[in-house]
Amino acid sequence: MISPESYYEEYLKGKTKEEIMTAIRGLKQEIRRLKSTLENPDYDDNAIIHPDRFTYIY
């Protein structure tokens, strides 16, 4: 997990407004994808090797 301040320092600092808006859109898409995955009745928690879904979203 990363704090908003750390995310800014690492990924957004020095970027143009357009680049920041693109990053925000990408984050929104990822949130929608994760939400859709969680709400899918066929979702198999054991099929993914990434962090626990709630940890990832948090």
Hey, what amino acid is at 42? D
Hey, what amino acid is at 37? T
Task: Please report which confidence band the pLDDT of residue 58 belongs to, taking 50, 70 and 90 as the band edges.
Answer: low
CA distance 53 to 58: 9
Q: What are the tens digits of pLDDT across the range 35-46? A: 888 888 776 665
pTM of the entire predicted model: 0.62
- At 12 the pLDDT is 93
Taking the domains of the chain in order of start, what are their residue ranges?
16-57
Q: What are the tens digits of pLDDT across the range 5-35? A: 998 998 999 999 999 999 999 999 988 988 8
Hey, what amino acid is at 13? K
